[in-house]
Amino acid sequence: MTKTNNIVLASSSPYRKELLSRILTEFKTESPDIDETPFPDEEPVEHVARLAEQKALTVSLNHPQSVVIGSDQVCVLEGKIIGKPHTREKAIEQLHASSGKTVIFYTSLCVLESGKEGQDLSVVITEVKFRELTTEEIERYVDREQPLDCAGSFKAEGLGIALFESLASKDPTALIGLPLITLAESLRKLEVNFL
């Protein structure tokens, strides 16, 4: 049985680290230094799958005999990828654009054993339907929660949930950045004992 202290999360995201700590008590983290620029004409689902795999493979080189977890996420509105806003103004703009519309999140997961062939690669799709938002609601939300490092400009694990009309996903934590149901299944395949 694989030991849980031989698990490495290929990410510097505090959100992914917090999510992984919900099911594992011991793991390491390492930030993968990769270029995340989309390829020309690359579909969002292909983009996130490629990045999760690349992150896991890159970090696995530094961690022999480990299970490595890579993940990535993109937010898509009307066919266009929406990145992290980084500024208050951009967050307000993104939420105005999303008001009354459905935003699709693609969250990828790649789990592999260092030095072994093959990996478990999947993409979880989450559909978020925003309710009609007023300018005042958007501004108050952004000022209160400061979602400047979140794709789509909200934190679903916090007050951001109040911006939604509905949410559809087979794996709810995927929206926060790491699909734990899918991850638990991948870890069980590798006989990781986390219960």
Active centre residues (catalytic): 72
| CA dist., res. 123 & res. 179, Å (int) | 9
CB-count exposure of residue 154 (10 Å: 0-12, 13-18, 19+): buried
Kindly give, in sequence order, each residue whose CB lies less than 8 Å from that of residue 62, ignoring residues fewer than 6 positions away.
30
Strand bridging mode 28-29 / 7-9: parallel
Retrieve residue 182's tokens. Answer: 């899918």
- Can you point out the beta strands (E) in the chain? 7-9, 28-29, 67-77, 80-82, 102-113, 120-130, 164-168
CA 40, CA 180: separation in Å to the nearest integer?
A: 31
